[in-house]
Amino acid sequence: MSKGEELTGFHLDVLQEISNIGVGNAATALAKLLNRRVEMAVPRAGVLPFNQIFNLVGQEEDKVACINFAVAGEAKSQIMFLLTEESAFALIDMLFDSPLGTTQELTAMGQSTLQEIGNILTGSFLTALSEVTKLTFNPSVPGFAFDMLGAVLSAAFLESGYFDDQALIIETQFYQNEIKINGHFFLVPEIGSLEIIFKSLGLEFDGGR
């Protein structure tokens, strides 16, 4: 039995609830930053094989914005927040209350805005996860890349040999009126860290080992 197959019912409910709490906190933080409400939701949360990230986000040659963090603590991991180029530009327009399509290239201000969104999302999610698991998570200063998906993932993870073959995925949706923007938030654990997280939740998760 694979890890993904073990995650059913209560397991997924727990992940969804943690994700909803994190995104709710992030929406509150964004509202304070922007002085207006930004609606956010989590359509789906779960665990999937790392190599399926490509299929979920896009093609290897598709351009993406990636905000990534190293996470120290009892369950060491890497975190990525990925947006397609189109979604990144649309999110910048939404956050600056500009007409959709205004942003046509990534400026220094746009990059700073996306990094701040990544900071807020990561901090909010890790706070929620820490409160539930009683584990400590300490994110690094964020890195940023704006490149093809294949190059971004290779630089972030594939050249390192010590990450697990499973990733925690949280689909993150920003919406305003009829506009919906999808992002993908991934926690990719070092080997053994996913077991630590799930055991802290009282859930068995050995991946059939």
pLDDT at residue 2 greater than cutoff 60: no
What's the whole-number mean pLDDT along residues 107-128?
Answer: 92
CATH numbers and ranges of domains, the chain: 3-200 (3.40.1550.10)
> d(Cα 152, Cα 69) in Å, to the nearest integer?
13
pLDDT digits (tens, 9 = 90+) for 68-78: 998 999 999 88
pLDDT of 6: 52
Q: Considering the chain, what percentage of its residues have pLDDT values greater than 70?
A: 89
Whole-model pTM: value is 0.84
Q: How far is CA 129 from CA 97, 118, 178, in A?
A: 31, 16, 31
Q: How high is the mean pLDDT of the chain?
A: 84
pLDDT tens-place string over residues 144-173: 999 998 888 877 765 555 577 778 889 999
